[in-house]
Amino acid sequence: MKEQVSIPKHKITRAVNLAQSGAKIGINIAKYKVKKALTGVSDRNTLDKLNAEETFKTFSKLKGGPLKIAQMLSIDQNIMPSAYVQEFQKSYYSAPALSYPLVVQTFRREFGKTPTQIFDHFSSKACAAASIGQVHKARIGKKEYAVKIQYPGVSSSLKSDLNLLKPFATSLLGLKEDLLSPYINEVEERLLEECNYELELERSIRLANESRNLKDTYFPNYYPDLSSDKIIVMDWVEGLTLDKFIKQNPDQAIRNKIGQALWDFYHFQIHTLKQFHADPHPGNFIIYEDQLWVIDFGCVKSVGDDFYKKYFSLLDLVRVQNSLDFESILTDLELLKVDDEEHTKNKLIHFYRQSVELLSKPYQSEEFDFGDKDYAKSIYAFSEKALKDKDLDKVTTTRGDADAIYVNRAFYGVYNLSALIGAKVKVRLPDFIHPDLKPY
């Protein structure tokens, strides 16, 4: 993929790029409508593919907030047509990289030196490029490093980018504003943290150390002396990203081993540390010698004890099946409001109960097969039905504790990755749920 020699930095220039992309998408839509009117044939897939490619091209050029939005939307696969999901998945690690002269500029600003004045060898081509930074391979003596370099101007353009993205995404991509807003808000909060490489370095070291006793899960070492505000240096990890490894079709025993390691990693972080890796996409995991390596702690979320108990009480199916208890949980989580009309309240309770029973299914047996395509289809069908439900569509009030957005996204991502792996995983309930309610 062709390298970028610059990133548009000024608010007006970035707005012009989005406007130009919007115009091209508008032309594609107009052509589609004319063709449909003349021939009676609806080639929606081709339209989606063209518009997805145009959108990703522009988001990649702008990087930062726009590209992070693409990354998040590609994880929640039921929100957009599959053409967008497939195109946006490039944001994990296959976005266009910045050219080497821009990398040298960043090193000069950070260290007053070029990369080759610090390292014995430094790759001029990026090995991977994502939403806010790219990775180069370097070496000192025989020791190899991964060098993560932040794109210039990402944090300074964030707020204006997100304001520009709302009308773009709602009018041209067909996303509803109340559906998009949580992503916009999340990106603003999390991306500002992700741009703080000193915070990321501190979290990476601490969370990796706290998680090192997990079976079959490994973490690179980090090097503060070689790192800075805009650069993080860690061990180079050989291997393949999770999605590329699965394409090699490993046997079921290996799939189960990796899937279990991934599940246990999230179970430990959420239920023990209550601070967890909140960016579960395949590019953040490397498989080497059939072991799971976690290589990026850029996006981390903490949850308080109060919210934790409320949220995970939804896994207590005895309470979920008890109408009064379930209504109380939903109210505590702000999913039901005191001024809801009776019809709305009953509709939401029915919807949430179906959702909880479906998504908690892995916890209802000692081992769950995430490779079961029928289960994945049932989740997709449920989401499709909910999106088309006119009564639910009318419930536009923002609902739920903001912390739920991050936890939902983490679990949704873990479910998707477990399905991608095709793993059979041993699952257990959080320890605070009464032992008598455990399924084994």
Report in angstroms the alpha-carbon separations of 172 from 20, 165, 169, 290, 397: 12, 10, 6, 43, 23
DSSP code, position 98: B
Dist CA 416 CA 255 (whole Å): 14
The candidate with the shortest Cα–Cα distance to 122, out of 104, 109, 97, is 104
Q: What is the pLDDT of residues 224-280, one digit of tens each?
A: 999 999 999 999 999 999 999 999 999 999 999 999 999 999 999 999 999 988 888
Dist CA 136 CA 148 (whole Å): 7
For the chain, the structural domain boundaries read 11-91+158-192, 303-437
Give the tokens for residue 145: 């490093």
Per the prediction, the chain carries an average pLDDT of: 84
400 has pLDDT over 60: yes
Which pairs count as long-range contacts for 360-366, CB under 8 Å and 24+ apart, including other chains? 360/314, 360/315, 360/317, 360/320, 362/415, 362/425, 362/427, 363/315, 363/427, 363/428, 363/429, 363/439, 364/317, 364/439, 365/427, 365/439, 365/440, 366/426, 366/427, 366/439, 366/440
Give the tokens for residue 35: 């063709």
152 has pLDDT over 90: no
Amino acid identity for residue 111 in this structure: F
Amino acid identity for residue 2 in this structure: K
3-class state of residue 300 by DSSP: strand
Give the tokens for residue 6: 């610059």
Give the tokens for residue 217: 């899960």
Q: How many CB atoms lie within 10 A of CB 159?
A: 13
pLDDT at 11: 76
Q: How many CB atoms lie within 10 A of CB 324?
A: 8
Torsion of CA 182, 183, 186, 191, to 10 degrees: -160
pLDDT at 259: 97
| pLDDT category of residue 440 using cuts at 50, 70 and 90 | very low
Contact 397, 233 (CB under 8 A): no
Rounded to 5 degrees, φ, ψ at 109 are -65, -40
Helices (H) and strands (E) in the chain, counts: 18, 13
Report in angstroms the alpha-carbon separations of 57 from 3, 21, 365: 12, 9, 44
pLDDT at 78: 60
Contact 286, 295 (CB under 8 A): yes
Amino acid identity for residue 86 in this structure: Q
pLDDT at 160: 74
44 has pLDDT over 70: yes
Alpha-helical (H) ranges within 63-154 are 64-75, 82-88, 100-111, 115-118
Mean pLDDT within 338-367: 89
Instruction: Give the H or E element holding residue 167.
Output: helix 158-171
Q: What is the pLDDT of residues 281-309, one digit of tens each?
A: 888 999 999 999 999 888 888 889 999 99
Mean pLDDT within 114-133: 92
